[in-house]
Structure 1
Amino acid sequence: METFPKIISVDDHTVEPPHVWRDRLPSKYRDVAPRVVRAPLKEMTFLGGRFAPVMGERGDDGPVGDWWVYEDLRRPLTRLDTAVGYDRDEIKLEIITYERMRPGSYRVPDRLADMDVNHVQSALCFPTFPRFCGQTFTEAADRELALLGVRAYNDWMVEEWCGPEAGGRLVPLTLVPLWDASLAAAEVRRNAARGVRAVAFSEIPPFLGLPSIHGDAWDPFLRACDETGTVIAMHIGSSSKMPSTSADAPPAVGSTITFANCCFSMVDWLMSGVFERFPKLRIMYAEGQIGWIPYILERADAVWKENRAWGGVAEKVLRPPSELFAGHIYGCFFDDAFGLRNLDAVGAGNVLYETDYPHSDSTWPDSRRVGEEQMAHLPPETVHRIVRGNAIDLLGLTPEGLWAG
């Protein structure tokens, strides 16, 4: 492709530097707020979709790394958090320190430099320690501190990670206190007032012990997103339950079917009636890929047409699900040649591009080459729309593709 558009990635990741909560919470919380300690690893497994690290004591044998400590949580930094730049066969489940991490994972100037290498202009970044939609704070016992932790993360995201040093190239994605829909709505509005147009949410909230979207429990939050033009961004794994088949299935099984939760989630939203109640609401599925979408839409339309009388949706889903999808839902991909060959069945206006930096699946530093190869059959205007145009519209960026705050 002669001129491939500069990429706007709607799914990259930041690894929070150690000072995020230390600098933004009252001093009385210093010993209980999220903090980094260096300690040995006793053991670590990742089976059946469950990540299980065990922190050792000072003086124990075992590899030493940096751990986030918060209440009962002990979460180590691992090579999977920041894998770009390593040969695929060298990327293993191992504990690391910040010094062994690619600096672009947590430093703005280095991130911008790595974006330049990858033909990326702008990037929206999901969290690491808070997890993809803030589950870490949702699971905390001290709700007062958890709320402060969510707000502190958002302040860091807006003011520092996406601050002046980023020059508009880093686009903020904020969190909400998922345990209270009214508090969540207030946080959406607080951040929308400073130009934020994306908020993280769980793909399947009941997996977190939260209400489903089939009732009205989330209406204050959904109304805030609808009224402020804030897109709801759901990343694979934002339900804290990665798909798997058995307790002893290796990670490769779950990695192959990571799209499954997005699939289940999208059907939930299409059959919920939410889009009828909130007509300006838009949602996106980060790292879910797009190749599976056409069949799900075909099947959902058939069920809506043939079975809606007894299927519990006749009174609340008033249009075919595929029509709702076209007006409200975005699929995100970084490596999906099959999906692109079937783009007409998805819709060029409903697709966003991503690079997944710095994770092991990332196409960095070859995102341009991958895109050129997989989109070679598409007209230039369609490529532009997928690679950056849709993201500009969805995230409220400037015509140049920058976040203006």
Structure 2
Amino acid sequence: MATTIDKREEQKTKKRKTAVIDVDVHPNPKSYDDLLPYLSDYWKDFLTDAKWKGVFPGIPVMAIVANAGHRMDSIPPEGGLGCSSLSFFKEQVVDKYNYANAILYPDSTFMLAASPQHEMATAVASAYNDWQIDHWLSKDSSLRGTVVIASQDPEEAAREIDRVGSHPQMIQVGLSIHSPYGGWGDKRYHPIWEAAVRNGLICTFHVSVPGGIFQALPVRGNYYPETQTNNGLTYQNQISSIIFGGVFEKFPDLRMVFVEGGFAWLPSVMYTMDTHWRNLRREVPWVKRPPSQTVREHMWFGTQPFIEPEHPEDEKHVLQIIEMIGTNKILFASDYPHWEFDAPQQALAKLPAEVRNKILYKNAVDLYGFEDPMK
């Protein structure tokens, strides 16, 4: 039996290792039936009769992402979906990589906004929030949650943000990078930004898949490598929509995080937006300053998928890109339990220690207000 002294020494040893704050972890219910207690009788009967299998149970047109893209070893010993066991998540990831905190984004809920049946999407979003609080947040104080919304109905989405956004472990509002109608800079989404600011929450955009009422931006890919490459283009499109739509002029306290879209493309986009703003600013008089300045003040970006040059001599360019964006703007994102998972120490191994530590935990401490795990 471990003594109190043994436990203290173990804690000291763990503290000396570099801590990790992961901003992109996707928990799942063991079965979608676990959501039923959080639904009204109407929606419970409706989804049961329809034999509903979840928001995004798989992508049948792309065999490579069968099993909803989960790592097969992320399925807990007792069965269920990947990352459906808190204890197994701790064993497989938290303890192994010395996580101080993890931000949850319930798996596949970013596809709720693709449903034309916004009433159902709103009900399911609410169920996910209550399930997330009961099954994950209430059981571990180191975890933080995402308010799931159905953004195709911005007014209802704002009400859901107000309903659960004050929970002490809710830290952000979750959105898909694909928007249901128009770009995210469209005024119809202002109720969402207003509710996020009102509740002190960050808005986080997650990669999504064209389908339902989502538009294929910039184009629907035929192959998985093509789709993965195109994801960054969708992020570029939405960032320019948000900037030129004047979202931050209207909501100066709003902060946004973009995960699973990469970041290598960002310097080019910032310079391009600045050029067009200088030449065409009379068309968008509400944009008062260079777009790159707004990006650096209001936006942060997850590492996943991290840049992995084939040739060692190209590694220096990764650091150059990060420095062009700002070493304080990049957050570590693992994407667990998906098979694209990035292990923190391996993914960032080639970066200088100071930059690596900023990405692994320091930037998240500054942005989200976590306690510094290394003090």
Q: Which bracket does the TM-score occupy, shorter chain normalised? A: 0.7 to 0.9
Partner of 1:94: none
Partner of 2:321: 342
Partner of 1:285: 258
TM-score by length of 2: 0.80
Query: How is 1:3-402 mapped onto 2 (pairs within 5 angstroms)?
Result: 5-18=18-31, 19-33=33-47, 44-46=60-62, 78-83=66-71, 85=73, 105-115=83-93, 116-130=95-109, 132=110, 134-135=112-113, 138-140=115-117, 143=119, 145-164=120-139, 167-195=140-168, 196-205=170-179, 208=180, 210-237=181-208, 240=211, 249-309=222-282, 312-313=283-284, 315-334=285-304, 335-336=306-307, 338-363=317-342, 366-371=343-348, 373-375=349-351, 377-378=352-353, 380=354, 382-400=355-373
In the alignment, the residues of structure 1 paired with residue 66 and residue 187 of structure 2 have an alpha-carbon distance, to the nearest angstrom, of 39
Partner of 1:70: none
Whichever structure has more helix as a proportion of its residues is 2
Contact 1:16–1:129 (Cα < 8 Å) also in 2: no
Q: Residues 346-365 of structure 1: CA distance to partner in whole angstroms, max 9, x if unpaired?
A: 012211111111112112xx
Does the residue aligned with 2:341 lie in a helix, a strand or coil? coil
Contact 1:125–1:173 (Cα < 8 Å) also in 2: yes
Opposite residue 194 of structure 1, the aligned amino acid is H
In the alignment, the residues of structure 1 paired with residue 97 and residue 217 of structure 2 have an alpha-carbon distance, to the nearest angstrom, of 30
Whichever structure has more strand as a proportion of its residues is 1
Q: Residues 111-133 of structure 1: CA distance to partner in whole angstroms, max 9, x if unpaired?
A: 11112223333222323353x25
Does the residue aligned with 2:252 lie in a helix, a strand or coil? coil
How far residue 239 of structure 1 moved from its aligned partner, in angstroms, is: 5.7
In the alignment, the residues of structure 2 paired with residue 239 and residue 328 of structure 1 have an alpha-carbon distance, to the nearest angstrom, of 26
**Greater mean alpha carbon deviation, residues 257-266 or residues 386-395:** 386-395
Opposite residue 341 of structure 1, the aligned amino acid is Q
Contact 1:242–1:254 (Cα < 8 Å) also in 2: no
Consecutive unaligned residues of structure 1, counting only runs of 5 or more, are 52-76, 87-96
How far residue 134 of structure 1 moved from its aligned partner, in angstroms, is: 2.5
Does the residue aligned with 1:261 lie in a helix, a strand or coil? helix
In the alignment, the residues of structure 2 paired with residue 5 and residue 102 of structure 1 have an alpha-carbon distance, to the nearest angstrom, of 32
Does the residue aligned with 2:176 lie in a helix, a strand or coil? coil
Give the 3 Å change call, closer, same or farther, for CA 104–349 of structure 1 in structure 2.
same
In the alignment, the residues of structure 2 paired with residue 278 and residue 246 of structure 1 have an alpha-carbon distance, to the nearest angstrom, of 32
Contact 2:173–2:203 (Cα < 8 Å) also in 1: yes
Opposite residue 203 of structure 2, the aligned amino acid is I
Contact 2:76–2:88 (Cα < 8 Å) also in 1: no
In the alignment, the residues of structure 1 paired with residue 101 and residue 272 of structure 2 have an alpha-carbon distance, to the nearest angstrom, of 36
Aligned residue pairs total 339
CA RMSD of aligned residues (A): 3.1
Does the residue aligned with 1:269 lie in a helix, a strand or coil? helix
Consecutive unaligned residues of structure 2, counting only runs of 5 or more, are 1-15, 309-316
How far residue 176 of structure 1 moved from its aligned partner, in angstroms, is: 1.6
In the alignment, the residues of structure 2 paired with residue 113 and residue 308 of structure 1 have an alpha-carbon distance, to the nearest angstrom, of 53
Does the residue aligned with 1:45 lie in a helix, a strand or coil? coil
Partner of 1:74: none
In the alignment, the residues of structure 2 paired with residue 245 and residue 272 of structure 1 have an alpha-carbon distance, to the nearest angstrom, of 22
Relative contact order (C-alpha < 8 Å, sep 6+): which is higher?
1
In the alignment, the residues of structure 2 paired with residue 36 and residue 387 of structure 1 have an alpha-carbon distance, to the nearest angstrom, of 38
Give the 3 Å change call, closer, same or farther, for CA 83–104 of structure 1 in structure 2.
closer
**Greater mean alpha carbon deviation, residues 284-293 or residues 21-30:** 21-30
